[in-house]
Structure 1
Amino acid sequence: MYKFLMSVQKEMLLLRRDLGGLVILFLMPLVLIVTVTLIQDSTFKSVTESKIPILLVDNDNGEISKTVKSSLNESGSFEIVTEIKGAALTEAMAGEAVFKGKYQLAIVIPEKLSVDLEKKVTQNVEDIISKFGLEDTIPKAEKEKAVKTKEIKMYFDPATQLTFKNGVKNAIDKMISQVETKSIYKAFQDQLGEEGEPIFEQENFITFKEIVPKVDNKEILPNSVQHNVPAWTLFAIFFIVVPLSINIVKEKGQGTQIRLITNPVPYAVVIAGKTATYLIICMIQFLLMVAVGVYLFPYLGLPVLEIEGKLILMSLVALFSGLAAIGFGILLGTVAKTQEQSAPFGATSVVILAAIGGVWVPVFAMPKIMQFVSHISPMNWGLNAFYDVLLRNGSIVEILPEINLLLLFFILTITIAIVYDKKKRAV
């Protein structure tokens, strides 16, 4: 026990010699989490609260264009622009403005769209009724020429994200489908000679309702803070790999490790001292991140991090995530021969583990091959455990698989480091 405590004290003395590096180790993750959360929350608000100006060229001036305008206005997400610098919009003007990046979207409604849709629906209804042998009982209308297909054109800024494009396309398609359905009902009613109230029920029969988890009859709605605090806490914890591996390489280069070996101190005790010291740093990082989410974020206009009844489980996840990060750092420091090897490799590997682990891009949005690869990232295990606690209201049972994986990763990396060190010294 005495040797272990002396090993911890030695690590503390090494850290005290570089107070600037220690401050950066705590300060930079805090700056990172505040910056990223503010950016992502602002982006979220820009989509959900702020209105995006879109150009609308209305060559129809009919029922469909009215429906499109009213639906866009009711959505609360768009601001319709119909003229630029006092001049009425044309398709050429709208396309040029969008392709130059001044607007994200332009919608061009073709001429006579509403009229031609009504004609097309009427023709289809007449054909259906005639096939049922009812043409003798219904007044015949003059046979009209076939109506050509119409196109609603949408111009998108080349820099616009695919998700935004698909969302707008689906919304416009839904609007037009509703208009077509109402036109079909109306055409049937007209052909059957019925007047007054509609004889068909025109309300949507199938609707959608989102069911979300509830605690004490309150819906659990995830926000940017609940996603970012766990993600960037893990990133900060795993970045401990860089200073840890550098310190181990320094000890080898300065001869400190040789002096330690000559003393009757097993290498496992030295590793235990490093593990305990850096685990304390990881937990301080975690608590600082949580404190920022709880106390600072509300003053920045961000949602508060709700941790009531969850802090113990979150601390448990952070503890085992710290162990996994420390194990990786010790392995890297044991294998690397120079700081030029350990520092860039450690930083790059942490970034890669974060990328494939879902810290930056959600795993479900990745290609299939990357979704499979993400399961080997310790950050993915830690992130899923944090989400189980924060978003899914999970218990210790739900996070046990991830905790076991993190512990197994720590044991595996430490074992490899000890075996490699023994083998290297034997040679």
Structure 2
Amino acid sequence: MSPLAATIVKELRLLRRDLHGLALLFILPLVFILIMSLALQDLFASRAGHLADVLLIDRDATPKSKLLQEVLAKNEAFGITRQPAPKDLKQALRDGRFAFAVEIRKGYGSSLEGAPAAKAPPLVGLTVAPDTDKRTEKLMLAALGEATGLQRTQQLIQFLPTEDPFGYPIDPPSIEAPAIDVAYAYVPAKPGDAPSAVQQSVPAWLVFAIFFVSIPFSNTFIRERQLGVQKRLATIDVGPVTQFLGKLIPYFLVNQAQVVLMLAAGVFLVPLFGGQALQLNGSPLALVLLSAAVSLAALGLALLIAVTARTSEQATMASGLGAIVLAALGGIMIPKFVMPAGMQAIADLSPMACMPAGMTNLGIMMPPSAARTMAPRPEAMVA
């Protein structure tokens, strides 16, 4: 047998001895294909060729407002649905059918006939659904601003002279588009209340980091079991409860240090790179209890892996795979709100989903006006 063939045979034998690691190369991508495909199917599903669906409400009912409707309807990026205003516009957006609601207010047509007032109230309103991303919102604002600006320009340019007294053409003056009142489907609705990227990312990746404590925890547990450390400690009257607490408390403190460091990064570090600073509101006690519950859930998973795995390699593989799969299921890698309803129900089963949802519902990561009144029970994550 040639040296090359012998080397190949040797490596194949080594791979055969590590069937768990070999299986991971196939199981992990297969699991991710299934999870990501199901979680993102609604996001990538065709909306009849439209980027977003728009509810159009015409309270003015004038030729000018109807012309604006026609201009918006020609934009292929948005699907326009004309209907009377619902009783609760923001609740209609929260239901998820529409990404935007455009409201042409009373007096829009008459405002185009004269010179724009210096402090005229906006006569076009745009309400944004909670799950609409910023990129789509900017595209909608641009389309709406272009349509209203074009309409005002066409209205005013017919009253302007096209030539000066000497017969030279005059360039038309730049005309600002009518102001657009932007609101969000939160209460109260202010542009500053929209959730930012840092408010979405910090709790998600914080809980992901917390659950990776299962790797060092399970490895040290197995190593001590193999060396007989636990039996030696028992001979000097160190009981199992003391041993367990002595191992649990240090890793619990490490998790709390992670919470403090990651929150501080969101508050102080992200703005240094041009990002939006993290807003921390709500009860500090609620944050402490929530982080403690998440830490206990992570340590519970680590203990389960430690008592079931036979070797450190198995524990490392199970810890990493478990953390990644729970993150994919729990809305860490993919925001939960873009998942279909069935996947959202499955995401609630992942303990990693509890911290982002809890920090939002407790008002910790959201502006005070957007905080919810209901919160998940932290003790449910430990059970």
Q: Which residue of 2 aligns with 1:169?
A: 50
Q: Are 2:313 and 1:340 aligned?
A: yes
- State how far apart, in whole Å, the 2-side matches of 1:205 and 1:368 are: 24
Structure 1 unaligned segments of length 5 or more: list them: 1-160, 176-180, 187-202, 409-427
Pairs within 5 Å for 1:410-425: none
Give the length in aligned residue pairs: 226
The RMSD of aligned alpha carbons is 4.0
* Equivalent position SS for 2:348: helix
Q: Which residue of 1 aligns with 2:104?
A: none
Q: Structure 1 residues 350 and 204 mapped into 2: Cα distance closer, same or farther (>3 Å)?
A: closer
Q: Are 2:140 and 1:259 aligned?
A: no
- State how far apart, in whole Å, the 1-side matches of 2:334 and 2:203 are: 14
Q: State whether residues 251 and 257 of structure 1, in contact with CA within 8 Å, keep that contact through their aligned partners in structure 2.
A: yes
Q: C-alpha offsets along residues 281-314 of structure 1, whole Å, 9 cap, x if unaligned?
A: 0000010001101111111000000114554422
Pairs within 5 Å for 1:216-231: 219-231=192-204
Q: C-alpha offsets along residues 171-212 of structure 1, whole Å, 9 cap, x if unaligned?
A: 69999xxxxx979x89xxxxxxxxxxxxxxxx9999966544
Q: State whether residues 245 and 333 of structure 1, in contact with CA within 8 Å, keep that contact through their aligned partners in structure 2.
A: yes
* Equivalent position SS for 2:277: coil
Q: Structure 1 residues 356 and 221 mapped into 2: Cα distance closer, same or farther (>3 Å)?
A: same
Q: Are 2:286 and 1:313 aligned?
A: yes
Q: State whether residues 212 and 220 of structure 1, in contact with CA within 8 Å, keep that contact through their aligned partners in structure 2.
A: no
* Equivalent position SS for 2:280: coil
Pairs within 5 Å for 1:94-133: none
Aligned match for 1:303, one of 276, 298, 317: 276
Structure with higher Rg: it is: 1
- State how far apart, in whole Å, the 2-side matches of 1:396 and 1:274 are: 37
C-alpha displacement at 1:369, in angstroms? Answer: 3.9
* Equivalent position SS for 1:346: helix
Q: Structure 1 residues 310 and 165 mapped into 2: Cα distance closer, same or farther (>3 Å)?
A: farther
C-alpha displacement at 1:170, in angstroms? Answer: 5.2
Q: Structure 1 residues 266 and 220 mapped into 2: Cα distance closer, same or farther (>3 Å)?
A: same
Give me the TM-score of the superposition, normalised by structure 2.
0.51
Q: State whether residues 306 and 315 of structure 2, in contact with CA within 8 Å, keep that contact through their aligned partners in structure 1.
A: yes
C-alpha displacement at 1:407, in angstroms? Answer: 3.2
Pairs within 5 Å for 1:222-371: 222-371=195-344
Q: Are 2:378 and 1:403 aligned?
A: yes
**Aligned amino acid, residue 299 of structure 1:** L
Give me the TM-score of the superposition, normalised by structure 1.
0.46
Q: Which residue of 2 aligns with 1:373?
A: 346
**Aligned amino acid, residue 405 of structure 1:** A
Q: State whether residues 360 and 371 of structure 2, in contact with CA within 8 Å, keep that contact through their aligned partners in structure 1.
A: no
Q: State whether residues 290 and 358 of structure 2, in contact with CA within 8 Å, keep that contact through their aligned partners in structure 1.
A: yes
- State how far apart, in whole Å, the 2-side matches of 1:221 and 1:172 are: 19
Structure 2 unaligned segments of length 5 or more: list them: 1-41, 57-61, 68-83, 91-182
- State how far apart, in whole Å, the 2-side matches of 1:207 and 1:396 are: 19
- State how far apart, in whole Å, the 2-side matches of 1:407 and 1:321 are: 7
- State how far apart, in whole Å, the 2-side matches of 1:173 and 1:407 are: 42
Q: State whether residues 300 and 382 of structure 2, in contact with CA within 8 Å, keep that contact through their aligned partners in structure 1.
A: no
- State how far apart, in whole Å, the 1-side matches of 2:55 and 2:374 are: 41
Q: C-alpha offsets along residues 207-235 of structure 1, whole Å, 9 cap, x if unaligned?
A: 96654445798852200000100000000
**Aligned amino acid, residue 403 of structure 1:** P
- State how far apart, in whole Å, the 2-side matches of 1:272 and 1:162 are: 45
Q: State whether residues 297 and 303 of structure 1, in contact with CA within 8 Å, keep that contact through their aligned partners in structure 2.
A: yes
- State how far apart, in whole Å, the 1-side matches of 2:52 and 2:375 are: 42
Q: Which residue of 2 aligns with 1:414?
A: none
Question: Identity across aligned pairs (percent)?
Answer: 28
Q: Which residue of 2 aligns with 1:140?
A: none
- State how far apart, in whole Å, the 1-side matches of 2:53 and 2:203 are: 37
